[in-house]
Amino acid sequence: MLKKYSTYQLLFISLIAALFVIYPDITWLPFELKKMSDSAKANYISFFLLRYSFLAGLIFLLIKINLLHIKTVDFKKRFVYNTIISIVAFAIYGGMSFLMYTRLKHYGSLVLFQFFIVSILGTLMGHIVTLYNEQRKREQEIEELKVKNLQSRYDALTNQINPHFFFNSLNGLTALIRKKSNEETLTYVNKLSDVFRYILQSDKKGLVTLGEELNFVDAFRYMMEVRFANKLEYHVNIDPQALSKKLPVLSILPLLDNIVVHNMIDSDHKMIINIYINENNELVVSNPIYPKLSPAVTNGTGLNNLEGRFLLLMEKQIKVENNGRVFNVYLPLG
């Protein structure tokens, strides 16, 4: 806390502190001077200034020692160190007082009390600064642990996406192989590689722009359109000015994947997916609901995974609406 101050600033603090310690002597100074001759007054004032300078120097020394050299958090040990220093300083002051000014009142109980106060002040200052630094150190360690914990949780959530998407995308590749459509199969594989390249690179990213996510959706869209022919359409209506907005990487993928997993998509149930931004600055992914006759067997990582990543990276919650006819997911943008 005080380590940021320069030597000159600490010296100024010491001079002010010494002024408060020697304040009782200042109040009595006019009365003392009335009883003295001119020569005695000059000696008295010079010795008074010397005592003031000595106390200021002692305070400065105690501040420096407590900040730089006494590392213990034990108050008793710190007080012993400061008391020893003050006793040595008091003895030096006593010798100076005896040699320069023989009146013993300037070496009496008041002066001893002032040195004791200086020792207490030095101890309290050092102890408070040490406790403050220890507290800051603990808070920093706690913050580092929180960051590491959040990163590990985020990595775990992201890693869940890869196998979940991989097994679903193989279904489309299998259908093309059975049709023996070599050109479409090669294009599908290329698009699949683009999609997986984005997924693998996502491990190094947290938040991405909406534009990056929509570029990924374009590659994913081709794969889905090949898989479902003309039975699935994507309608993306996004203002170009909104493409710089932020959201967690791979936010749209689990939503599009869940649509395919949980709905019938055939000639009688054409799936139209709408992606747009509403007036609340939320990315909306909307689709009609065509429930399968047999509920899909999934590991449940889709929406829970997405909600967890939004909470970790943006401290915001996604919203889900299901009225039985339309399924809407609202993703807050940053």
Residue 52 maps to a domain:
yes
Same domain for 190 and 266?
yes
* pLDDT value of position 129: 73
125, 141, 157: which is the final residue of a domain? 141
Same domain for 301 and 252?
yes
Q: What does each of the 334 residues of the chain score in pLDDT, given as a tens digit? A: 445 556 777 788 788 888 888 877 788 778 777 877 777 788 778 778 888 888 888 888 888 887 777 777 788 888 888 888 888 888 887 777 766 664 444 445 667 777 778 888 777 777 777 777 778 887 877 776 566 555 545 554 555 555 555 665 676 677 677 777 677 778 778 887 877 777 777 666 778 899 999 988 888 787 777 777 778 889 999 999 999 999 988 888 888 888 888 889 888 899 999 999 999 999 999 999 998 887 766 655 567 777 877 887 888 999 999 998 999 999 999 8
Same domain for 110 and 194?
no
Residue 166 maps to a domain:
no
Same domain for 239 and 308?
yes
Residue 208 maps to a domain:
yes
Residue 156 maps to a domain:
no
Same domain for 206 and 307?
yes
Same domain for 24 and 85?
yes
Over the stretch 114-137, which tens digit does the pLDDT of each residue have?
777 888 877 777 777 777 777 888
Residue 150 maps to a domain:
no
Same domain for 202 and 311?
yes
* pLDDT value of position 14: 80
Domain extent at residue 20: 7-141
Same domain for 132 and 222?
no
* pLDDT value of position 245: 94
* pLDDT value of position 104: 40
* pLDDT value of position 152: 47
Residue 148 maps to a domain:
no
141, 173, 199: which is the final residue of a domain? 141
What does pLDDT average to over the chain? 78
User: Could you tell me the CATH number of the domain that includes residue 252?
Assistant: 3.30.565
CA 308 to CA 305: how far, in whole Å? 5
Name every residue whose Cβ is closer than 8 Å to that of residue 98 and which is 6 or more positions away in sequence.
Answer: 107
Same domain for 271 and 210?
yes
Per-position DSSP letters for 244-308, written without gaps between them: T-EEETTSSHHHHHHHHHHB--BTTB-EEEEEEE-TTSEEEEEEE--B-SS-----S-HHHHHHH
Cα dihedral 129/133/135/138 (nearest 10)? -170
Q: How many independent structural domains does the chain possess?
A: 2
Residues constituting the chain? 334
Per-position DSSP letters for 183-235, written without gaps between them: HHHHHHHHHHHHHHHHHHHGGG-SEEEHHHHHHHHHHHHHHHHHHHTTSEEEE
Same domain for 56 and 191?
no
Same domain for 314 and 201?
yes
* pLDDT value of position 199: 73
- Give yes or no for a contact between 163 and 298, defined as CB atoms under 8 angstroms apart: no
Residue 205 maps to a domain:
yes
Residue 175 maps to a domain:
no
Over the stretch 219-248, which tens digit does the pLDDT of each residue have?
878 777 777 777 888 999 999 999 999 998
Same domain for 194 and 324?
yes
113, 141, 169: which is the final residue of a domain? 141
Query: Is-above-0.75 flag for pTM?
Result: no
CA 300 to CA 223: how far, in whole Å? 23
